Structure 1
């Protein structure tokens, strides 16, 4: 109440909430208003994911104006498609870390929460080491396997090699942010992405075009800038883990392998990793299908459209991440009904956001793509892809929240099954049928994506209502 006895205006209350969410204050998410808890988590999570999507857009903008822009854009897109395997492992591990950390925080045991988070780091780095080495050695072969021409693959191999070699920073950035989100401090996760992106935005033009004593590295410069930027974000995360000021107070002793905890973590993480590996492998297949039916320019247009799509969808993924933290902490506090209500409140916000984004992308696809490419054929394909993909945005919004809710509860098996059926048994065959058998080419692939995503969201809704996730122990 103010001195005049009046309640603060809605605007003042919003800015107060915004300030609190951005400051990363430690709050109890198991009590009080659910709407307020969702907003406190969602604001930094959305900004965090928006910053993650900026990486791809910044790279796309600068490489899209290089001399060999179609080769460059295709290389960035195909490399990102391969990196989705690493993203899958990172996100799967971060989901497990979020679930376990959130559950321990809900049980008021911050020491166990910190230990669980650090065991996840050990496992993730060990897995990533194998993938990174293979990526460095077989970079050019990977691009050819993805459908790139031999000339385009030779052109893009240095970029891919550097991105794969530096992928451990991608792993750490995702994983440590999952730890912070599980603890309820999404602001640190957001700020780490801000730091990484500011560095990337400054370094991209420097390394790509050159300036003063710095030579022009062209496409490879984009990989250099992105890797350095993400590394700076990881350093900020590590500082906050070890400064002893947050809920999680970490010491070097927590990095000693604890095999029972690792076993429990892997039990939750393995299906989580699989659900994203299943999805990423599907996207890889679709990328190859577009490259085969649409050549290098068709592939470049599709990859450009995906970058735009992810720019808008990653904030929605961030918003839906609020459901994972709230479900995990409230289940830990034995408040099952509050956990379920949190999911529906989050879903309402996310569906509203995606409906607005659908309108924006349908209306602005044409001018938007001219900003990112000067190739008319690439532009036209990208516009067509954006408009078709946007048809399923509302269903994407609901599906993302439900997937995060399952994962936050530690029920990583259910979304894995949904992804397997939806992507491998439905989306891939449908894309092949429409693009090859019906002879729609890349358009057939574009149509298959929203159709499959819509069906998967409906299946997730039905499974969530059954409520088996409420009884999962982690």
Structure 2
């Protein structure tokens, strides 16, 4: 073995051994912190983008609301679902001491990322207008939603590649570089999107197309950087392009976790879309109040994401090394941290909802509806935090069937229960109570699946 090869082996082995032997909670917190900061950057983007879209008028605000679920679905599938499958496969290979396999898996993951991006490009460019029409888009609102969507999803490959390559790095235990890259992309998106959308610094005002171009530019630059970083040999995982060959087993190793995991974000978005449709019959104020609650749920997801994604390489390496007991302890520790963090926020907004609601509206009817939502759903956010985190932890162990079924149970409760309550003209508070009950089912169902499923 050459000196360079020996040094490379030592570089890779160090973080792998550290994740296999270091104290669980401190290591988990250290890995979760960069993800939390990166997710804060994503939240900042959402606030900034909403702010300058609001300057364009009411119609653009309504248009972005139509595109928002599909944009979130793209991010959730590429980063949390398929990305979890990528991190899981790579970390399990590293835990078993198979560095060459991990490097080959990374190249296959990039191919999957390109394929996922192409799928969303074809889907949204071909059928986006029909989707937005089904959600109630009409006239200029529909046109502006299509303008935004066409630019954004023409670059869906960039979004998928960024999240896929970031997941490759996370699978090696490197949380810092993906976080820094995503924060830099968030800043680029805010600057470019605001400049082109509003026509700042003497440039033409491109409106919604300009706003979407900001995100497209940011993710394209981030994808190029991450691809260069991995190819340059600076990462903990050396990539050998010269000896690359397609291997069916590599795709299977990633997709057996990632493809099944994609059902969960799809069900999450469907849950909100179905419930939104049901609540539309209760009036604009009730619908708007629920909209504020569901938006907070989306913004709390990154907290569970931070702990869950941090647990994936720790669990994956432990499983790869045959340390099943340690893997389970990591999962329960991450779930407790996520549940307590998200649950605390839920309790705060349940007790004092004005801390969140007053940021968006002073309308008494909307405020009353939002307060009612948080009173019933807020205390159950604890279970949502547990369920969402254990979903990621299960990816590390390559056992995602149970958590996906728990998400299915939540969707079924909301769809069937919501339809029944609406059919008997039940008051709005019963629907909000149903949302809380569904979160409890998600949390307890996921926890039960982890407890009962054999790992290793």
Give 3-state SS (helix, strand or coil) of 1:401's partner: helix
Q: What is the match of residue 419 of structure 2?
A: 432
RMSD over aligned Cα atoms: 2.8
Give 3-state SS (helix, strand or coil) of 1:138's partner: helix
Q: What is the match of residue 25 of structure 2?
A: 35
Measured after TM superposition, the shift of residue 286 of structure 1 is: 2.7
Q: What is the match of residue 4 of structure 1?
A: none
Q: What is the match of residue 13 of structure 1?
A: none
CA distance in 1, matches of 2:292, 2:210: 19
Kindly tell me: are residues 201 and 386 of structure 1, through their superposed partners in 2, closer, same or farther at Cα, counting changes over 3 Å? farther
Q: What is the match of residue 48 of structure 2?
A: 58
Q: What is the match of residue 186 of structure 1?
A: 175
Q: Would the aligned equivalents of 2:394 and 2:400 in 1 still touch at CA under 8 Å?
A: yes
Kindly tell me: are residues 421 and 351 of structure 1, through their superposed partners in 2, closer, same or farther at Cα, counting changes over 3 Å? closer
What whole-Å deviation, never above 9, does each CA across 1:396-435 have from its counterpart, x for those lacking one? Answer: 1211222122111001222222222221x21211222334
Q: Would the aligned equivalents of 2:172 and 2:237 in 1 still touch at CA under 8 Å?
A: yes
**Residues 1:81 and 2:76 are matched in the alignment:** no
* Bigger Cα displacement from structure 2, 303-312 vs 333-342: 303-312
Residue 447 (structure 2) aligned to one of 461, 464, 474: 461
Q: Would the aligned equivalents of 1:57 and 1:307 in 2 still touch at CA under 8 Å?
A: no
Measured after TM superposition, the shift of residue 314 of structure 1 is: 0.9
Measured after TM superposition, the shift of residue 463 of structure 1 is: 2.0
**Residues 1:224 and 2:213 are matched in the alignment:** yes
CA distance in 1, matches of 2:377, 2:287: 15
Figure out how many residues of one structure are paired with residues of the other and give that number.
Answer: 441
Residue 342 (structure 1) aligned to one of 317, 330, 348: 330
TM-score (normalised: structure 2): 0.87
CA distance in 1, matches of 2:148, 2:281: 22
What whole-Å deviation, never above 9, does each CA across 1:251-299 have from its counterpart, x for those lacking one? Answer: 434765322322333233321222332333333323333455545x766
Give 3-state SS (helix, strand or coil) of 1:434's partner: helix
Q: What is the match of residue 140 of structure 1?
A: 129
Q: Would the aligned equivalents of 2:95 and 2:319 in 1 still touch at CA under 8 Å?
A: yes
CA distance in 2, matches of 1:135, 1:212: 32
TM-score (normalised: structure 1): 0.84
Measured after TM superposition, the shift of residue 307 of structure 1 is: 3.3
Residue 399 (structure 1) aligned to one of 384, 387, 394: 387
* Bigger Cα displacement from structure 2, 233-242 vs 179-188: 233-242
What whole-Å deviation, never above 9, does each CA across 1:88-128 have from its counterpart, x for those lacking one? Answer: 53132111111101101111222211211221221232243
Q: Which runs of 5+ in 1 are unaligned?
A: 1-24
Q: What is the match of residue 108 of structure 2?
A: 119
Give 3-state SS (helix, strand or coil) of 1:391's partner: helix
Give 3-state SS (helix, strand or coil) of 2:229's partner: helix
* Bigger Cα displacement from structure 2, 285-294 vs 121-130: 285-294
Q: What is the match of residue 165 of structure 1?
A: 154
Kindly tell me: are residues 372 and 206 of structure 1, through their superposed partners in 2, closer, same or farther at Cα, counting changes over 3 Å? farther
Alignment of 1:180-219 (within 5 A): 180-219=169-208
CA distance in 2, matches of 1:280, 1:154: 23
Q: Would the aligned equivalents of 1:93 and 1:120 in 2 still touch at CA under 8 Å?
A: no
Q: What is the match of residue 269 of structure 1?
A: 258
Q: Would the aligned equivalents of 2:307 and 2:334 in 1 still touch at CA under 8 Å?
A: yes
CA distance in 1, matches of 2:373, 2:142: 24
Measured after TM superposition, the shift of residue 324 of structure 1 is: 1.9
CA distance in 2, matches of 1:209, 1:373: 24
Residue 356 (structure 1) aligned to one of 326, 329, 344: 344
Residue 284 (structure 1) aligned to one of 273, 291, 315: 273
Kindly tell me: are residues 174 and 364 of structure 1, through their superposed partners in 2, closer, same or farther at Cα, counting changes over 3 Å? farther
CA distance in 2, matches of 1:240, 1:192: 11
What whole-Å deviation, never above 9, does each CA across 1:309-339 have from its counterpart, x for those lacking one? Answer: 3223312321222222211111111111111
Measured after TM superposition, the shift of residue 202 of structure 1 is: 1.8
CA distance in 2, matches of 1:152, 1:255: 47
Kindly tell me: are residues 85 and 310 of structure 1, through their superposed partners in 2, closer, same or farther at Cα, counting changes over 3 Å? closer
